[in-house]
Amino acid sequence: MLEQESFWNAQSFAVITDSTKPAMKWTVDELTKKGKKVYVVDMSGSPDKDALHNIYDLPSGVENAVIGVTTSNPADVMADLEKKGITGRCPVMYLAHGFNIHTMHRGISKLFGKY
């Protein structure tokens, strides 16, 4: 099994959102249906009342994170997650086809051994 496939076998996830990508709500719902513990970090200007507001508020033990942000730099989000020992992934990077920002992200990740 590839690392990017085993990523989804974790039992706890942080979903990092800024409320600009509807797919993040779906991600939370799907992970929850699969019995995963999900922590939502809402980095928008008006975060949901049940969400954490900062990556540093995540409890220890969160294994992986799904990132879906457009109003902040995903690389900064990744750096903050790495400081907490959490592996982050952009799911669209693995799903996109053709020439677009997501496939470019995939290419860069492969080039630097981060795929």
Spatial separation of the C-alpha atoms in residues 104 and 102, rounded to whole Å: 5
Q: What's the DSSP call for residue 114?
A: -
Structural domains of the chain ordered from first start: 3-111 (3.40.50.720)
Counts of helices then strands in the chain (DSSP H, E): 5, 4
Question: CA angle, corner 99, sides to 76 and 68, nearest 5?
Answer: 30
- Residue-wise pLDDT for 26-41, tens only, equals 889 989 999 999 999 9
- Residues 67-112: tens digit of each pLDDT: 988 888 888 898 899 999 998 776 665 555 677 666 776 677 777 7
Q: With contact defined as beta carbons under 8 Å apart, do 39 and 27 qualify?
A: no
Alpha-carbon distance of 13 to 16, in angstroms, equals 9
DSSP strand pairing (64-68 vs 12-17): parallel
